[in-house]
Structure 1
Amino acid sequence: MMEKRKKIMLPETEIPTKWYNVVAEMKHKPQPMINPGTKEPLKPEDLYPLFAEELARQELNETDAWIDIPEEVRDKYKIYRPTPLVRAYGLEKALDTPAHIYFKNESVSPVGSHKLNSALPQAYYNKIDGTTNLTTETGAGQWGTALSFAAKTFGLELAVYMVKISYEQKPYRRSLMQTWGAQVIASPSMSTKAGRKILTDHPTYQGSLGTAISEAIELAMQTPKCKYALGSVLNHVSLHQTIIGLEAEKQMELAGEYPDIIIACFGGGSNFSGISFPFLRHNLSGEKSTRFIAAEPASCPKLTRGHFQYDFGDETGYTPLIPMYTLGHKFAPANIHAGGLRYHGAGSIVSQLLKDKQIEAVDIDQLDSFEAGILFARTEGIVPAPESNHAIAATIREALKAKEEGTKKTILFNLSGHGLIDMSAYDQYLAGDLINYSLSDEDIKKSLEAE
């Protein structure tokens, strides 16, 4: 009898040499981002004050489907890439499903999540530009942690504005960032004009990613040789993350299967883009008809209940105007534990793909997400990040649907990170202290109308 393969590994020599730019092959390109000052479509040079020049060019590149990964970045990727593709036999058995479930295990990176895939190239491009300091924001702390390590790797200083509720809920994320040499500030803070205004208006405000972005951008604009780095939403971040799906494609081939359904949790879109876009290109060319499902929290449902419109990426209005599904840049999300998913908008590429019905979205209640995460931990041994639990919950739904229908589906999901630094969230869940949050249509309407 042939031995069952649990993990499908690739050698280091198989780390992709190029990232995949889906925009080049999209039938309907995303609408252009708008410079709020000139009201004109954004040009790369508009972004130079904020981002490394190569990142600005990547952001607006609509013509090149493949973009070279610098050798120095590939070399650093070897610390943890290629990541394993794993068959979830234990989960399949527990669900008694005919579906074959695979997951790409991005939790094996030194920082515990997929975020390092973009942090390393962003730090590298800034270094070669002569940047000495970076600023960023972080929600749950995964992006801040990744950029702390990447900045240290390429010899840059970093200041991280961490959403206040996460700063308090996740002290060990803060410790990790400081271990790698970053300065961590709870946001909103008194160190920026944006932060001071928000605290003056709302002294007890627990923060949001939109607020933290405003603070990080303001500091970058005021400090010489300082640039800003973003962990999700923007096109160049999605581009770097495609290394996930490009590896997974080779690994699925080794497994002798091709996914019918691909699932990832959704905050701003980085890990969803990363696993989806390389496979999506076969849908765009008409060769395949895979379903792509973005799983977002019911308390922050921009894809399932937001409006498609131009909106700012931050609370204060410092960013370009982005064509996105949004709940409004003033949206104040509930203090859920999946801090990385508490973002008001979706990236322009994902928004366009949803508009074109190339992808789907579902929303997941907080309690359902933790129930799924606990089952996964008990069957597969890995405690997932609260964010990743949303993808697992959506995967379980699809696997049970396959069981009902009696159809053998191949499901691939992205395990975007582990939850070993999020155990306070599991403590609360196991103690029965977590609740579901629901938004009324009125709440969403009010948020979209807020200026």
Structure 2
Amino acid sequence: MAHQKRFLLSEKDIPTQWYNIQADMPNKPLAPLNPATHEPMGVDDLAKIFSKECSKQELDTEHAWIDIPEEVMDMYKYYRSTPLVRAYALEKALDTPAHIYFKNESVNPLGSHKVNSAIPQCYYCKKEGVTNVTTETGAGQWGAALSYAAKVYGLEAAVYQVKISMQQKPYRSLIMRTFGAMVEGSPSMSTRAGKDIVTRDPTHPGSLGTAISEAIELATTTPNCKYTLGSVMNHVTLHQTIIGLEAEKQMEMAGEYPDKVIACFGGGSNFGGIAFPFMRHNFFNDKKTEFIAAEPNSCPKLTRGKFEYDFGDEAGYTPLLPMFTLGHDFKPANIHAGGLRYHGAGVIVSQLIKDGYMHGVDIPQLDTFEAGILFSRTEGIIPAPESCHAIAAAIREAKKAKEEGKQQVILFNLSGHGLIDMTAYDNYINGDLRNYTLSDEEIAKNLETVPQI
């Protein structure tokens, strides 16, 4: 009998609600704090930066299920459901007894999971009468998704892209401009925050921290403008739970349940998106699934950072967030996984890691590309450098299953394709990439700038 490779939901079976794990967490996340007063921030405080609806979702610890607006569902149907795929060829290459599945978020027209949150964020902004949106982007997946969603809802978009990523991936900024967005390399000379950073360090390669500072400054000084964010915040991860909720139904179709759930980790949106719907069964249904967040060895906030209140950006414009951090001044190495070059972790994931419900692993850059090449040659998909971290972690677990003689079910999220990241593969194949590691001293020095609460 032929084995089924792909599992797809019909349009009528696409989930119509997002899952808000905050309502079910044994220990609720700590509140964001006003950076000036250190007082907890409410919806009205957050709504000075974000849309009102996203601000409500950010702080909602009561409602486990939040309806997806009908207009957003209509846009989701352009590309959802995405396939759940059994990686038979990868299993064979690894000679593992493990069953490996991946949720393929790379097949939507924007190329990554990011559009799952870009659409609702722009929809809420439009509904509230906003005319302009700003954002930051690293590798450019989020910038591309936001630029498209802004155009769908008739909004003007301004995107600050991390300067080094802009140089490494020129086509991503062209995609944003094709959708009508204004794109600027960060740090730039167009904002006070950017000028200050460039003055201090003229060769600063940029980071998500610098780009967030510039985007927030523009949002708060432009009339009728809101800031939108591609990861880290609770409402972004909420929107991404569509991934795990679909995967849950699709795993049922496959007649299996995951022992391990894995995704790459920058701020936590795609990891939380696939993990949280399964996590609720660990809370309530005695499941023992292990949740593994795969981060770069060169940016190891989950494995070597500290749980503290810290800024989400370099200039200190954001609320203070309780998270695992390497310090908001942390300048990440110029790795090709631009979407993972971020100093902090999302609040919900940070709390769950602190409480022992999930954990991080850090993976050297060369290991990630080795995994990405193997995946390309077996499954025929060239993955984004970010997604290669998840693949490398899944391969580790599959090899461990072989050593232990255990038949494990492994599910990972393929968050995006790498077809616009081929410079990175070129560098790897030519032997021009290297690993970056941080000393304990460097990490300790960076953490000195974390605000004292």
3-state SS, counterpart of residue 324 of structure 2: strand
1:141 aligned partner, one-letter code: G
Gaps of 5+ in 2: none
Instruction: Report what 1:72 is aligned to.
Output: 71
Does residue 282 (structure 1) correspond to residue 281 (structure 2)? The answer is yes
- For the residues of structure 2 that align with 1:4 and 1:271, how far apart are their CA atoms? 28
- For the residues of structure 2 that align with 1:373 and 1:176, how far apart are their CA atoms? 24
1:216 aligned partner, one-letter code: A
Instruction: Report what 1:344 is aligned to.
Output: 343
TM-score normalised per structure 1: 0.99
3-state SS, counterpart of residue 157 of structure 2: strand
- For the residues of structure 1 that align with 2:96 and 2:313, how far apart are their CA atoms? 42
Q: What does the per-residue CA deviation read over 1:109-135, in whole Å, with 9 as the maximum and x for residues that have no partner?
A: 111000000000000000000000000
Q: What does the per-residue CA deviation read over 1:117-156, in whole Å, with 9 as the maximum and x for residues that have no partner?
A: 0000000000000000000000000100010111011111
2:187 aligned partner, one-letter code: P
Does residue 359 (structure 1) correspond to residue 364 (structure 2)? The answer is no
CA drift of 1:286 comes to 4.0
3-state SS, counterpart of residue 242 of structure 1: helix
3-state SS, counterpart of residue 35 of structure 2: coil
CA drift of 1:287 comes to 2.4
CA drift of 1:330 comes to 0.3
Q: What does the per-residue CA deviation read over 1:388-436, in whole Å, with 9 as the maximum and x for residues that have no partner?
A: 0000000000000000011100000000000000000000000000000
Does residue 32 (structure 1) correspond to residue 31 (structure 2)? The answer is yes
Instruction: Report what 1:82 is aligned to.
Output: 81
Instruction: Report what 1:251 is aligned to.
Output: 250
When structure 1 is superposed on structure 2, of 198-207 and 268-277 the one drifting more is 198-207
Instruction: Report what 1:370 is aligned to.
Output: 369
Count of matched residue pairs: 450
Q: How many percent identity over aligned positions?
A: 71
- For the residues of structure 2 that align with 1:49 and 1:14, how far apart are their CA atoms? 36
TM-score normalised per structure 2: 0.99
CA RMSD of aligned residues (A): 0.6
- For the residues of structure 2 that align with 1:35 and 1:284, how far apart are their CA atoms? 31
Instruction: Report what 2:146 is aligned to.
Output: 147
3-state SS, counterpart of residue 363 of structure 1: strand
Q: What does the per-residue CA deviation read over 1:222-248, in whole Å, with 9 as the maximum and x for residues that have no partner?
A: 000110000000000000000000000
3-state SS, counterpart of residue 334 of structure 1: coil
| 1:155-304 correspondence to structure 2 within 5 Å | 155-304=154-303
- For the residues of structure 2 that align with 1:165 and 1:78, how far apart are their CA atoms? 34
Instruction: Report what 2:106 is aligned to.
Output: 107
- For the residues of structure 2 that align with 1:389 and 1:155, how far apart are their CA atoms? 34
3-state SS, counterpart of residue 22 of structure 2: helix
When structure 1 is superposed on structure 2, of 7-16 and 56-65 the one drifting more is 7-16
CA drift of 1:50 comes to 0.9
CA drift of 1:294 comes to 0.2
Gaps of 5+ in 1: none
- For the residues of structure 1 that align with 2:143 and 2:207, how far apart are their CA atoms? 14
Instruction: Report what 1:386 is aligned to.
Output: 385
Runs (4+) off by over 3 Å: none
- For the residues of structure 1 that align with 2:321 and 2:49, how far apart are their CA atoms? 16
1:176 aligned partner, one-letter code: I
2:225 aligned partner, one-letter code: C
Q: What does the per-residue CA deviation read over 1:315-361, in whole Å, with 9 as the maximum and x for residues that have no partner?
A: 01000000000000000000000000000000110000000110011
1:105 aligned partner, one-letter code: N
CA drift of 1:37 comes to 2.4
- For the residues of structure 1 that align with 2:437 and 2:449, how far apart are their CA atoms? 19
